[in-house]
């Protein structure tokens, strides 16, 4: 059971950005066509990814098993804890949007929350700018997240050395 609910560390940045692109597509469709049921699907995907990484996520499985392996891109390992934190923020936004739309009948607020989520996912997908990861870093600097949660986040030399070794091995 421990393995099922573990989150990958490191995470392939290529796959993370492709998952974010999937979230953007689903969110834009939900917003444009006012598909409240799709907001529930988005929320369930975030819950699955926050709990297990790609293991229980249909989108995560599609990206990591089908799409990413077929791309001519090298994997780009990044620390997992900030990405998991970002998925947790996605849970908060998507569940809030779903509740506002389906339970509280606050359509404008629900669609605005989903639009904010789509904007954050767009930053990740298009530019590799993970807003949740930046918040994670800020909370760590403030001491609200212990350094031990993400040792790799605090040791840039280890990441640089690992990247250099990986590139050298690929040659």
By residue range, what is the domain housing residue 132? 11-170
Residue 76 in any domain: the answer is yes
**Beta carbons of 24 and 125 less than 8 angstroms apart:** yes
Paired tokens of 147: 């350094």
Is 4 a domain residue? no
**pLDDT, tens digit (0-9, with 9 covering 90-100), for 17-65:** 999 999 999 999 999 999 999 999 999 999 999 999 999 999 999 999 9
| More confident site: 74 or 170 | 74
pLDDT score for 6: 82
| Residue 6 belongs to a domain | no
pLDDT for 19 equals 98
Whether 115 maps to a domain, the answer reads: yes
pTM over 0.75: yes
More confident residue, 91 or 167: 91
- Is 71 among the domain residues? yes
Q: What is the pLDDT of residues 115-171, one digit of tens each?
A: 999 999 999 999 999 999 999 999 999 999 999 898 888 765 555 555 555 554 554
Please report whether residue 123 resides in a domain. yes
Q: What percent of the chain has pLDDT over 70?
A: 87
What pLDDT score was predicted for residue 152? 81
Judge whether residue 2 has pLDDT over 50: no
Query: From CA 56, how far away is CA 134, in angstroms rounded?
Result: 25
Give the pLDDT of residue 153: 82
pLDDT for the residue numbered 135: 96
Strands 11-12 and 77-78, by their bridges, are: antiparallel
Q: At a CB cut-off of 8 Å and minimum separation 6, what does 15 contact?
A: 54, 60, 63, 64, 67, 68
pLDDT of residue 169: 52
Q: Tell whether 128 is covered by a domain.
A: yes
The domain total for the chain is 1
Q: Can you give the pLDDT at residue 155?
A: 65
What does the pLDDT read at residue 105? Answer: 95
Q: Is residue 2 part of a domain?
A: no
pLDDT at residue 109 is higher than 90:
yes
């Amino acid at each position: 059971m421990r393995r099922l609910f573990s989150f990958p560390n490191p995470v392939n940045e290529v796959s993370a950005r492709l998952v974010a692109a999937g979230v953007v597509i689903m969110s834009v469709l939900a917003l444009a066509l006012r598909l409240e049921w799709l907001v529930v699907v988005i929320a369930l995907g975030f819950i699955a990814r926050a709990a297990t990484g790609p293991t229980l996520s249909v989108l995560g499985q599609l990206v990591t098993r089908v799409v990413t392996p077929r791309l001519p891109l090298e994997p780009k390992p990044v620390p997992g804890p900030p990405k998991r934190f970002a998925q947790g923020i996605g849970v908060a936004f998507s569940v809030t949007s779903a509740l506002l739309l389906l339970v509280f009948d606050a359509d404008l607020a629900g669609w605005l929350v989903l639009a904010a989520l789509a904007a954050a996912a767009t930053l990740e997908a298009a530019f590799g700018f993970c807003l949740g990861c930046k918040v994670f870093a800020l909370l760590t600097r403030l001491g609200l997240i212990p350094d031990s949660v993400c040792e790799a986040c605090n040791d840039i030399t280890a990441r640089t050395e690992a990247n250099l070794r990986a590139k050298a091995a690929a040659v």
